[in-house]
Amino acid sequence: MLSRMNLVCVIIYVSLLLSFSIEIIEATPIISKRETFHEKKPSPFNTVIIFGDSTCDNGNTWRLSNYTYPPKKFFYKGRFSNGPTWVEYLSKLLHAKEMNYAYGGATTDTNYVKAVSGFDGEIPVPGIKQEVEDKFKTQVSAKSLNPDKTLYIVAHQGNDYLNNPKIFPVECVKHLYDVWVELANFGAKHILINNFFNLKNLPEVTKNYGVISRLLTGLVSKMHNAAIDGFVWQFKRTHKDVKFYILPMDQVWEEFKDPNLKKSLGITDVNSACVLRIDKTKNYTICPNPDEHFYWDHIHPSTKVHNFIAVKVYNIITGQK
């Protein structure tokens, strides 16, 4: 229940948040002291093509929802965060054109596990496979891209498991593998994927959600990452001409246990979400210190964390290319 006092607080913090967010978009990526950043010139990539879910959506689901979800009072211009996502920071660091086909709510393949978004899951969205087949491949020809200068990102943080806790990680990752193969057949020479962070690092309140608590006891993150290792091995064996990069999302979460890193980024809270939806309403409460939270909402990192991830990915790809 939202009391009148809380409502006032919500409104005050919303205004704070709005001014905060607008500041962020103009800002170039901030390089933390922890990750050393050596700009590589010329940039190794001129185009970044992104398939994925809410962790890299730059507003596709928001547009599809006619600008209703995620609500712009609490989320930055269609991002499931309080500022740009890591793929946007990364594209800037690379001085590359960003082609973003990620939809918040995407599963690996909507014909495998239904992909939905919106307050009550009422908006169907494409799965990652559909982003590639129905959005990207129908609009872009391989000839228009230089494969040596194009980075494909396939980012997935597990909506399949949230929408259907009974599916097997090996089966889920096989659907991602199929996408990697499809992109390689299209002409991709550089593909970046992520592994899965440990669900046990989610905010406390999230851990109590029925689905999440079931997934936690099922060791899903561990099994998922083991399956990723297996399919990456298989992919590399059969696609020696494709350079494959992995963003170790599990490590990012572990790194944030370091007090020095938190201090350098001004993050004081790694355990609780800043905005929380008020049960069954379209309202959220918002914390008094929005730029000090690791988590923006119950499941998505804040833009500072996205920024950190982008620098990490930049170093991974430039170190290997």
Ligand X SMILES: *[C@@H]1O[C@H](CO)[C@@H](O)[C@H](O)[C@H]1NC(C)=O
Instruction: Name the residues that contact ligand X, by CB under 6 A.
Output: 10, 65-66, 123, 281, 283
Nearer to ligand X, 10 or 24 (CB): 10
Nearest to ligand X of 40, 277 (CB atom): 277
Q: Which is nearer to ligand X, 25 or 278 (CB)?
A: 278
Asked if residues 94 and 69 have their Cβ atoms less than 8 Å apart, the reply is no
CB 180 within 8 Å of CB 220: no
The whole-angstrom separation of Cα 11 and Cα 35 is: 36
| DSSP H or E segment with residue 306 | helix 303-320
> Least CB distance from residue 65 to ligand X, whole Å?
5
Is-contact 71 294, C-beta < 8 A?
Answer: no
How much of the chain is in helix, strand and coil states, percent to nearest 5? Answer: 45, 15, 40
- Please identify, using beta-carbon distances, which residue of 97 and 282 lies nearer to ligand X: 282
User: In whole angstroms, how close is the CB of 21 to ligand X at the nearest point?
Assistant: 17
Q: Which is nearer to ligand X, 63 or 321 (CB)?
A: 63
Please, what is the minimum distance in Å from the beta carbon of residue 11 to ligand X? 6
CB-wise, 65 or 100, nearer to ligand X? 65
- Of 320, 321, 314, whose CA–CA distance to 37 is shortest? 314
Question: Closest approach of Cβ 255 to ligand X, in Å?
Answer: 36
Q: What is the DSSP string of 248-259?
A: -HHHHHHHTT-H
Query: Based on CB atoms, which residue is closest to ligand X, 283 or 315?
Result: 283
Give the chain's length: 321
Shortest distance in whole angstroms from residue 66 CB to ligand X: 4
Shortest Cβ distance from residue 166 to ligand X (Å)?
A: 28
Q: Which helix (H) or strand (E) holds 190?
A: strand 190-194
Between 4 and 240, whose beta carbon lies closer to ligand X?
Answer: 4
**Type of residue found at 289:** N
Residue type, 248: P
C-alpha closest to that of 191 among 177, 180, 178: 180
Q: Considering the complex, what minimum distance in angstroms separates the CB of residue 68 from ligand X?
A: 7
Q: Tell me the closest approach of the beta carbon of residue 226 to ligand X, in angstroms.
A: 37
DSSP H or E run through 154: strand 150-154
Q: Is the peptide bond before 126 cis (omega within 30 degrees of 0)?
A: no
